[in-house]
Structure 1
Amino acid sequence: MKLPTVLPALQNFRPKSSLVLGNRRGRTLAIAIISILILGILLFSTLIIGSSGLEIALQARNLPPSLSHPFGTDWLGRDMLTRTLHGLSLSLWVGLLTASVSAVIGLVVGTLSATFGGKVDAFIIWIIDLFFSLPHLVLIILVAFAAGGSTQGLIISIILTHWFNLARLLRAEVLGVKSSEYIQLSSKLGHSPVWIARHHILPHLVPQFFVGLVLLFPHAILHEAGLTFLGLGLSPETPAIGIILSESMRYLSVGYWWLGVLPGIALLMAVQTFDILGASLRTLLDPKTSQE
């Protein structure tokens, strides 16, 4: 084989490993798997590390971060890393519950709105516009306060104030699907709107639903921590991140910065992991980018 023929072939040759790493889908899938592993570890961290670090040890109180206590200790000698992981695990479970219920409500409401149309659609759109017209954080605080400011009130407030964005998105998606030929044909064959929604529309919404569900998690987690910080959420006896941050405020002025800074950074990193996972799933499930 002549040299001029070999050189272009060598220039276009790439090892299999580099093809995998260079493929956008491969990189995105790897990022998604790593994010899921991190979040899984945080969810079940209480089972991994136990609760021995939560015991009071006055001889080790207010110690700065070290190898034995990476996040330091608090005013009662409790290990702050253990408290932070317990708090993150609790916040993630609350976020999992509230985001899941809120996403299901958004799915049902958005599908019903676009499927039935008419007065049903107009009423649902009016409700969604009403929610969007109110300041989001103020609305969450008002609902939590009206529900009693307890754990139950916290869960209800997050659920009732996070479904409408996804509902509007899924409604638009259903309206696009309804105009397709196979939906029109199914309607002419005499199938009811509920049958069409269950067999043709809902399967089409699965990718958008899961992406929306994952992207709801960080909002739910931050609002849980914020409401708990304000005293409208979880009980002060629970090792929640909001409680930890609230308690640390009185000690920051005397130099015990690790009591609030490190748990706060851990919370932001967990939220950012959810954002990365949501963006990765959107890339993997989008037909335009899934094959790049």
Structure 2
Amino acid sequence: MPSESAGPTTFHVPAVRGAGNRCRALLGIIVLAVALALVVGAGRALWDVASQTDFAARNLAPSPAHPFGCDWMGRDMLARTLAGLSTSVLVGLVAAACSSVVACALALVAALGGRAADAAVSWLIDLVMGVPHLILLLLISYALGRGVTGVAVGVALTHWPSLARVLRAEVMQLREQPWLAAARASGASAWRIAWGHVLPALVPQLLVGTVVAFPHAILHEASITFLGFGLPPELPAIGVILSESMQYLSAGYWWLAVLPGAALLAVVLAFAGLGSLVRALTSARTVQE
């Protein structure tokens, strides 16, 4: 009897712990996703307010009426910061999604297209990773005329190599599985194997890679905009706000840069935490721990 009762105990405890870990990860994902959605929604709702000037409130320090203060034109900095964050998040969303598509396509070509295709993709990955990231992003954005399109395309074309390398290694492991060998033996084409068998198995890695690419995309968008190679000055954006506020820091108007910068950091950390939770949710270790 003792041996029989010990069996169910050792079997069910890890399952309960795993379920608790997954529930906590899912709850964290929901909370962070809702918070980020609220930031984007508030930014879009305050888009017109962010451009309204009131010279009677110029250079106003943070107060209950204006928590982030006002700039040299009397524009509310909280509204401008939220509008800028919404722009950065939307640009990062498009760029990260496109980058993930490129990474997935190249990983499938490298793993299922033969030795020549694998060598070509590996050479392309090494080439892109060998160029300084920010310089390549600046060149692409400048060549495409800057603006939203130039920044989104530039970020998308520079953030795929790391994910492509991870996905390629994953496909290499999947290629040795018996069920994939059986699909090849049955005469299935490479396209059918990639679309119907390999791609569904890559969804967790692809989802995690897309979410993890968000903070990098947002930071790089803000960086090149700050340097003057990104979004136009008339568009509310965090990079534009930080770039314009630099000349006023020496006058003591610290809130023009510190508070928007802190908000950008909070959003980036939120996306980083979201990526960690998504990785934990899709990891098999979460069930076992």
TM-score of the superposed pair, with normalisation by structure 1: 0.90
Q: Shift of the alpha carbon at 1:166?
A: 0.9
Written as runs of structure 1 = structure 2, the 5 A alignment for 1:6-85 is 23-49=20-46, 51-85=48-82
Tell me if 1:136 matches 2:120: no
Partner residue, 1:188: 185
Q: Shift of the alpha carbon at 1:230?
A: 0.8
Return 132-141 or 92-101, whichever deviates more: 132-141
Per the alignment, in what secondary structure is the counterpart of residue 286 of structure 2?
Answer: coil
Give the unaligned 5+ runs of structure 1.
1-18
CA contact (8 A) 2:42 2:82 kept: yes
Per the alignment, in what secondary structure is the counterpart of residue 23 of structure 1?
Answer: helix
Partner residue, 1:213: 210
Q: Shift of the alpha carbon at 1:143?
A: 2.0
Q: Shift of the alpha carbon at 1:131?
A: 1.1
**1:169 & 1:260 partners in 2: Cα distance?**
37
Q: 1:204 aligns with which of 180, 201, 204?
A: 201
Q: Shift of the alpha carbon at 1:148?
A: 2.8
Partner residue, 2:268: 271
Return 135-144 or 190-199, whichever deviates more: 135-144
CA change 1:133–1:52 in 2 (3 A) is closer
Written as runs of structure 1 = structure 2, the 5 A alignment for 1:122-271 is 122-271=119-268
Q: Shift of the alpha carbon at 1:49?
A: 4.1
Letter in 1 for 2:33: I
Return 112-121 or 50-59, whichever deviates more: 50-59
**1:50 & 1:107 partners in 2: Cα distance?**
35
CA change 1:242–1:37 in 2 (3 A) is same
Q: 2:102 aligns with which of 105, 120, 123?
A: 105
TM-score of the superposed pair, with normalisation by structure 2: 0.90
Aligned residues: 275
Letter in 1 for 2:29: A
Q: Shift of the alpha carbon at 1:158?
A: 0.9
Q: Percent identity?
A: 47
Give the unaligned 5+ runs of structure 2.
1-15
Aligned-pair Cα RMSD in Å: 1.9
CA contact (8 A) 1:149 1:231 kept: no
Return 154-163 or 251-260, whichever deviates more: 154-163
**2:268 & 2:68 partners in 1: Cα distance?**
19
Per the alignment, in what secondary structure is the counterpart of residue 61 of structure 2?
Answer: coil
Spell out, residue by residue over 1:78-105, the C-alpha distance to the aligned partner (whole angstroms, 9 max, x if none).
1100000000001111111111111111
Q: Shift of the alpha carbon at 1:149?
A: 3.0
**1:108 & 1:222 partners in 2: Cα distance?**
25
